[in-house]
Amino acid sequence: MSTKGTHIPDWLQVPFAGITPAPTQKGQDLFPTGNWRSIRPVYRDKMPPCNNACGTNEKIQGYLDLVKRGKYLDAYALIKEDMPFPSVTGRVCYHPCEQACNRGKYDEAISIRAVERFLGDLGQALPKDVVKAGTPNGKKVVVVGSGPAGHSAAYQLARLGYAVTILEKSPKAGGLNRGGIPDWVLPQDVLDREIERLVELGITIKTNTEVGKDVSWDDLRKNYDACILAVGLIDPNSIRAEGEDKAGVHYGLPFLRDIGMGTPSTTSVKLGPRVAVIGGGNTAIDCAREAFRQGAQEVTMITVEGTTTEMPCVPEDLHDCVEEGVELKHGLACTAVLGNGKVEALQLHPAKFSGAINASPIAVDREAKAERFAVDNVIIAVGQHASLKWLPDEFKNEKGAIKADRFGRLGTTNVFAAGDIVQLGSGQPLMVVNAVGDGKRTAFNVDKVLRGEPLHERMVAIDVITDLARMNMTYFPKFPRVQQPMLAPASRRKTQDEVILAFTEEQAIDEANRCFSCGTCNACDNCYLVCPEPCIIRYDRSNGLYKILVDYCKGCRVCIEECPTGCLEGVPELDFDTGVVRMETAFAVTQGLHGRQAEELRNLPDRPAKTIE
């Protein structure tokens, strides 16, 4: 019923907009369904947790949605906006996106990396890539290093129209991807094809070119408009054990690099039957598994960590490592390498971290009886450090890495740095995907500086949807994760063939269909179908093309409650300060008063109480 004409005492008059429409033709024309709504449905995409966790912020939900619809080329083009080599990361990435996946709280996380590999392999089969170089802008940029960060930076700069040159000290381009990842994880021909894609973009790659030897620091600054240092951490750390310089002692990355850069006939790696690997990280895992493939019969990992759960390696890689026959010895440190000129045994003492695991000094109990552990070779894989003798000291930090600001810039110069060389000690995990993301962001910062634009940090608030209660889970039946096929443990340890095999087209679609599309419209059509009024329209069934006709919406919330993904949310009418037309009512006596009084209403609780006489 209408309250028009009702007398309201002064002391009851508060600036609330009424909810009952006035019985006038004027009011009905302005708002056909009446002023019933207190909540307005709004399409507002959130940030899916997988996108947020990805080091290069791939649009994961987007390409999963395209895969489930069979739009593979569109999905590949979308992933290539952020990732230059999805065929590589689809094999080697430690997938932080899957650890953040909301589906993991429900049944099992989506196998995002496997779908990425499916798209990457599709892209490798294309005669021409979907990405083209930008219109030349006449400026030159040099990138030092062809690993993940350098590859990514060069790729993005070429897309922006820069003439890019990559300098690589090794005989083959690829950096860590080439010399730090075994063939049975990343085949050489897959990486070769991705390097070819860079050349097809017009990027020049100069191998066997070392800064400080073939090119000076001054040359980098003088001959190019800008420079990006993506040299990585290439020198292995020592365990500072007595006798560490004996023959038969290898180091993690050089061991893998020697194999990756060479051929079976040229590699200098020759292992005996008994091999020990010191370290508990991902490089140590790769070294232990590679040792079998280089002829070892017994392989043992020796770690300071007391249990497998404390080891910093990826759990699934550790599982595969143990499945292949690698033994584990925990809570021990090597204090001496024993032997007459060549390693014959290791001296081991009980040890543990003095504080936080993997983030504090190691306390070795030298009072305890030492264990003699017989070996023919030992591979030390306890991390790496930078080799920057050619870099001026003013640009080095206390950790021996490059000192750069939050934009990757060295002081006020046009020299930038990206990847592990700046992320060391930052608390950021040193992963391929993080290096790729850092290279991408640094390339965009270089572009801004060369165009004379100021560098600003992104200030947009991000709403990451991590609470399942924000979605309607009744629409998501539980389905098991599609498992990638693998070679049998007994046979794979004797070959360089890929251990983890690719998804078929059907498997990729099935796995993509498990995606919740967290906080993002996936064009499910629920809102369009359940609305009791003709309030929701769409011109095509696609994200971003749904529209709410607010003139007819009563605010019943049915569309909001039935939205599976949580992209529809109810926003109080008081939040709309402008563009709001309201009808004449007893409490809102002029059109639009509701919207204009929104700020006043928010401050109402702070007003002093009225005196009622």
The CA distances from residue 73 to 33, 57, 60, in Å, are: 45, 20, 15
Q: State pLDDT tens for residues 349-398.
A: 999 998 888 778 899 999 999 999 999 999 999 999 999 999 999 999 88
pLDDT bucket at 601, cuts 50 / 70 / 90? low
Indicate whether 256 belongs to any domain.
yes
User: Which of 324, 349, 383 represents a domain boundary (last residue)?
Assistant: 383
Q: Note the pLDDT of residue 63.
A: 97
* Rg (alpha carbons) of the chain, rounded to whole number: 31
The CATH number given to whatever domain includes residue 56 is: 1.10.1060.10
* pLDDT at 150 > cutoff 50: yes
Indicate whether 590 belongs to any domain.
no
* pLDDT at 580 > cutoff 60: no
In whole angstroms, give the CA distance from residue 134 to residue 316: 40
In whole angstroms, give the CA distance from residue 202 to residue 162: 9
Handedness of CA 371, 374, 380, 382 (dihedral sign): negative
* pLDDT at 592 > cutoff 80: no
Are 303 and 358 within one domain? yes
Are 155 and 214 within one domain? yes
Q: Note the pLDDT of residue 534.
A: 80
Q: Rounded to 10 degrees, what is the CA torsion of 350, 355, 357, 359?
A: -120
More confident: 397 or 119 = 119
Are 260 and 357 within one domain? yes
Q: Note the pLDDT of residue 357.
A: 80
In whole angstroms, give the CA distance from residue 569 to residue 557: 9
More confident: 328 or 1 = 328
Q: Note the pLDDT of residue 12.
A: 47
Other Cβ atoms within 10 Å of 64 Cβ, number: 27
Assign 3-class secondary structure to 38-81: CEEEEECCCECHHHHHCCCCCCHHHHHHHHHCCCHHHHHHHHCC
Are 497 and 436 within one domain? no
Handedness of CA 500, 506, 511, 515 (dihedral sign): positive
Q: What are phi and psi of 229, to 5 degrees?
A: -95, 110
| Ranges of H-type helices in 376-504 | 420-423, 432-450, 489-492
Are 279 and 351 within one domain? yes
The backbone region for 374, taken as left when phi is positive above 0, alpha when psi lies in -120 to 50, beta otherwise, is: beta
Are 214 and 306 within one domain? no
Are 165 and 227 within one domain? yes
Are 256 and 344 within one domain? yes
The CATH number given to whatever domain includes residue 212 is: 3.50.50.60
Write out the two tokens for 438.
Answer: 């850092």
Q: Which residue has the tokens 């000690």?
A: 425
In whole angstroms, give the CA distance from residue 272 to residue 152: 39
Indicate whether 392 belongs to any domain.
yes
Spatial CA neighbour of 163 closest among 192, 193, 133: 133
Report whether 351 contacts 363 (CB < 8 A). yes
Are 145 and 246 within one domain? no
* pLDDT at 259 > cutoff 60: yes
Q: State pLDDT tens for residues 39-54.
A: 889 898 899 999 999 9
pLDDT bucket at 145, cuts 50 / 70 / 90? very high
The CATH number given to whatever domain includes residue 568 is: 3.30.70
Are 550 and 424 within one domain? no
* pLDDT at 262 > cutoff 90: no
CA 217 from chain centre, in angstroms, equals 32
Indicate whether 120 belongs to any domain.
yes
* pLDDT at 32 > cutoff 80: no
* pLDDT at 456 > cutoff 70: yes
Are 376 and 395 within one domain? no
**DSSP letter for each residue of 306-355:** SSGGG--S-HHHHHHHHHTT-EEE-SEEEEEEESSSB--EEEEEEEEESS
In whole angstroms, give the CA distance from residue 477 to residue 107: 10
The total number of structural domains that make up the chain:
4
In whole angstroms, give the CA distance from residue 473 to residue 43: 19
Indicate whether 22 belongs to any domain.
no
Report whether 358 contacts 312 (CB < 8 A). yes
Q: pTM, whole model, 2 decimals? A: 0.87
Average pLDDT (530-551) is: 86
Gap between the terminal Cα atoms of the chain: 30
Average pLDDT (181-204) is: 96
* pLDDT at 583 > cutoff 50: no
CA atoms within 13 A on the CB side of 311: 26
Q: What is the mean pLDDT of the chain?
A: 88
More confident: 63 or 15 = 63
Spatial CA neighbour of 404 closest among 603, 542, 229: 229
pLDDT bucket at 337, cuts 50 / 70 / 90? very high
Residues whose CB is less than 8 angstroms from the CB of residue 29 and which lie 6 or more positions away in sequence, other chains included = none
Q: Exposed, middle or buried: residue 219 (CB in 10 Å: 0-12, 13-18, 19+)?
A: middle
Q: State pLDDT tens for residues 417-441.
A: 999 999 887 777 789 999 999 999 9
Q: Exposed, middle or buried: residue 137 (CB in 10 Å: 0-12, 13-18, 19+)?
A: middle
* pLDDT at 595 > cutoff 90: no
Q: Note the pLDDT of residue 440.
A: 97
Report whether 418 contacts 151 (CB < 8 A). no
Q: Note the pLDDT of residue 572.
A: 83
Q: State pLDDT tens for residues 277-288.
A: 999 999 999 999
Indicate whether 32 belongs to any domain.
no
Write out the two tokens for 421.
Answer: 């060389």
Are 371 and 254 within one domain? yes
Range of the domain at 76: 52-129+467-506
Average pLDDT (78-99) is: 96
CA atoms within 13 A on the CB side of 73: 7
Which amino acid is present at 145?
G
pLDDT bucket at 10, cuts 50 / 70 / 90? low
pLDDT bucket at 37, cuts 50 / 70 / 90? confident
Indicate whether 479 belongs to any domain.
yes
Indicate whether 457 belongs to any domain.
no
* pLDDT at 593 > cutoff 50: no
